[in-house]
Amino acid sequence: MEKRYIFKSWNENWDYDYDIQGESFRKIIEACGKYCEYVSFWYFHANDEKRQHYSELAPFLTQTPEWGKKFLVPYSYDPSGHCDIAVRFYKVCPELLETMLKISDKMFTWLDRSDCSNPEDPTFYRSDGSVFLDTVVHDWQCVLSPREGEDVKDILSAEVWEKYDGPFPLKIVPDNWWTVL
C-alpha cells in the first residue's frame, strides 16, 4: 500500500508562496529517476513543435504506453476533431532528468504562461503505469506516492509535506468521456 503526501505550497493565509526548488527539486528528480520509467507533460498548442523546450525533450519522446491512453484530453476539440492540448510521454533516463534540471530547477515553473513557457504538469510513472509523482502546476499541487521500499525520507524531511488521503490531482479521462459532456 502506498502512502500519499501533498506538498503544502501555501501558507496560513492561503497565499501560494512555497516552491520545490534547487537541491530539493533535484532530490525529487533523482528519486523519480530511480523509481520511474516514464514522465508525461501536457502541451498546450500541441501541434506547435516550436514551443520552448520541445526540441530539447524530443530525443526522449516515446509512444504512449497502453495504460497512458486514459490521459487523453476530452476538451479543446474543434468540430473537425482537432485537439489543441496533448499529453506526451517520455522515457525516463539520466539525460532526460538532466535536461529537465537545465530547463528549470523549480517545480512550479513547469507551466505555459506569460512568464515561463514550459510543458506543464510533469507526472512520473513506474513501469506498471502507477503514479509516483503527480502535479497540477497551475493549481500548485504536487502529490508524492511512494511505495514500501521506495526511499523518500530526504524529500519528505526537506520540505513542507503532509500526509494526504485525497485523490490524485490526475487528469484521468473516462473511456466514455464523449457521453458525459
- Phi and psi torsions of 156, nearest 5°: -65, -30
Confidence of residue 167 (pLDDT cuts 50, 70, 90): low
Range of the domain at 24: 5-174
pLDDT band at 106 (very low <50, low <70, confident <90, very high): confident
Grid cell listed for 133: 509523482
| Residue 179 domain-assigned (yes or no) | no
Name the residue type at position 127. Answer: S
38-44/161-163 β-pairing: unpaired
Give the span between the Cα atoms of 29 and 74, in whole angstroms.
29
In a domain, 181, yes or no: no
The Cβ of residue 170 has, within 10 Å, a number of other Cβ atoms equal to: 15
DSSP assignments along 17-74, one per residue: ----BTHHHHHHHHHHHHH-SEEEEEEESTT-TTSTTHHHHGGGEEPPPGGGGGG---
Determine the pLDDT at residue 168: 61
What are the tens digits of pLDDT across the range 2-36? 687 777 766 565 555 677 778 888 999 999 999 99
Query: What confidence score (pLDDT) does residue 147 get?
Result: 94
Band (pLDDT 50/70/90 cuts) for residue 38 is: very high
pLDDT tens digits along 55-98: 889 999 998 888 887 765 544 445 555 556 678 899 999 999 99
pLDDT value at 177 more than 60: no
Number of structural domains (the chain) is: 1
Q: Which residue has the higher pLDDT, 26 or 158?
A: 26
pTM passes above 0.85: no
On whether residue 69 sits in a domain, the answer given is yes
Kindly state whether residue 11 falls inside one of the protein's structural domains. yes
Share of the chain above pLDDT 70, in %: 68
Q: Does residue 180 belong to any structural domain of this protein?
A: no
Q: What is the chain's length?
A: 181
Q: What is the reported pLDDT for 137?
A: 78
The b/e string for 63-83 (b: 16+ C-beta within 10 A; e otherwise) is ebbeebebbebeeeeeeeeee
